Amino acid sequence: MSASTVADFVAALPKVELHLHLVGSASLDTVLTLARRHPDGGVPTELDALRRFYTFTDFPHFLDVYRQVNLLVTAADVVTLVTELAADLAARTVRYAEVQVTPVRHRMGGVGYDDLAQALVDGRTLARERHGVELGWVFDADAILGPAGAEETVDFAVGHRPDGTVGIGLGGSELGVSRADFAPAFHRAVAAGLHSLPHAGETVGPGEIWAALTDLGAERIGHGIAAAQDPRLLEYLAAHHIPLEVCPTSNLLTGAAPSLAAHPLPALVAAGVPVTLATDDPGMFQTDLDAEYRLCHDVFGMGIPELAEIARTGARAAFCSDELRTQILAEIDAVEAAA
């Protein structure tokens, strides 16, 4: 099977993306626009300097850069980023995406909660009307802000609940941060009808994935690549149909995986764990969802049937409407049949 055949198939393949951070999604052009709009933010305002700025030495350095490029100071900035993200997704045949937003960080940056909620509603409407992309919101607690930050995140999600709200996440550093400490906030979110979608097992071992499952009631796991180290955990994830949101390029560039050749994605798939592909922070990692699918062919040897099944896994794992899920699955079947 030629690479061009696979590339054509991937380009036509309808997709969902379930692990995508709003701030990290900003393209280089968008970041430059925001950096020039807010020059006191300390982010480079020239392209070559910004590219160098996005060279990460390790995962903590990546987190430092990520927080610095949070240049969303006004509601208009939020709408700009959401609509430009939707245009990028549409260009990759993404029909539905769940976007992680960290409301406490935006409040700290100057965007009030009422303005943030309205900006997300406005951006989501424009994404649908202009680009045909449906967006859902996962409100992400930054682990470094501790349980109090998670409680504030739940307050926003439950109190404002912008159209498209689907769940609560937990991102940021895992080192020295226990998932179990965030259980009260997650229990309150779940009781309010939100889904539990934390990161776990990105840069630490499988114990934090177990904690996400048992203490946070996780329904999907962000990253979760450390599951490959624990056969019992692999069996559990497969038996309970708990998907992992796997982001290969992100894992490589942050040092979470030593190389693509050593990435555990093939072992996860072989164990029967539901795996969906995502970009994490595509603007910062200079990737897109098509590139992640092509990588699975080029590096892991996946053919069209395997790539189509990953796309189906994403659609099944999404918290979109049943009508949209059925439509996406039918489109995947049609594109695979044509290939």
CA-nearest of 165, 97, 101 to 131 is 97
- Distance, C-alpha 317 to centroid of its chain: 13
Residue 223 zone, left/alpha/beta (φ > 0; ψ -120 to 50; rest): left
* H or E stretch at 30: helix 28-37
Is-catalytic flag, 84?
Answer: no
Q: Which of 84, 134, 174, 202 is catalytic?
A: 202
Q: Which two tokens stand for residue 261?
A: 């050749």
CB atoms within 10 A of CB 122: 17
Residue with tokens 């409040």: 107
CA-nearest of 210, 171, 208 to 24 is 171
Residue with tokens 């609940």: 161
Beta strand segments in the chain, E: 15-21, 94-101, 134-142, 165-171, 195-196, 199-200, 221-223, 244-246, 275-277
94-101 and 134-142: which strand pairing? parallel
Give percent helix, percent strand, percent coil of the chain, each to the nearest 5: 60, 15, 30
DSSP 258-300: S-STT-SHHHHHHTT--EEE--BSHHHHT--HHHHHHHHHHTT
Residues 169/197, Cβ–Cβ less than 8 Å: yes
Q: What positions carry a catalytic annotation? A: 202
